Amino acid sequence: MKKILAVDDSVSIRKSISFILGQEGYEVIEAEDGKIALEKAQGDKFNLVITDINMPNMDGIELTKQLRATEGYKFTPIIALTTENQASKMEEGKAAGATGWIVKPFTSEKLIAVVKKIIG
C-alpha cells in the first residue's frame, strides 16, 4: 500500500485528503505543519508528500527544501497545495524542489487524477 503524507494547517483539508485518497486505497498520514511533517518523514517512508504552502512553524516551501535534503526524499514526489495562483510562489516551490501543484479549492477527481498520475 502506498503511503502519503498530507500536510496542512487546516483540519478540514487534511481530513478531506485522507478521506478521498483513503477510499482509493492509499494510506494517508496527516501533519498540521512542516515541522511535524519533517519529523514524520524522518521516521517513516512516504511515496508522496502533499503539502500546503502557507502554514505556521514551517511553511511548505521550507518543508520541501528540508525534505529534499533528507535521506530517502531526494526524488520523492512533493505536490504543493496553494490558493495562490501566483507565479512567484510557484517558482519558489519549483526552485525548492516541488514536483507539481494543485490549486485549492480542488475536486476529489482532480486530486485522485494527480496522485494516480504521479505514484500510480
User: How sure is the predictor about 104, in pLDDT bands with cuts at 50, 70 and 90?
Assistant: confident
Whether the ω angle into residue 105 lies within 30 degrees of 0, i.e. cis, is: yes
Q: Which of 12, 9, 3, 5 is nearest to 106 (CA)?
A: 12
Contact 13, 50 (CB under 8 A): no
Are the C-beta atoms of residues 68 and 97 closer than 8 Å to each other? yes
Contact 6, 31 (CB under 8 A): yes
Q: How far apart are the first and last CA of the chain?
A: 11
Compute the mean pLDDT over every residue in the chain, rounded to the nearest whole number. Answer: 95
Dump pLDDT digits (tens) for 11-67: 999 999 999 999 999 999 999 999 999 999 999 999 999 999 999 999 999 999 999
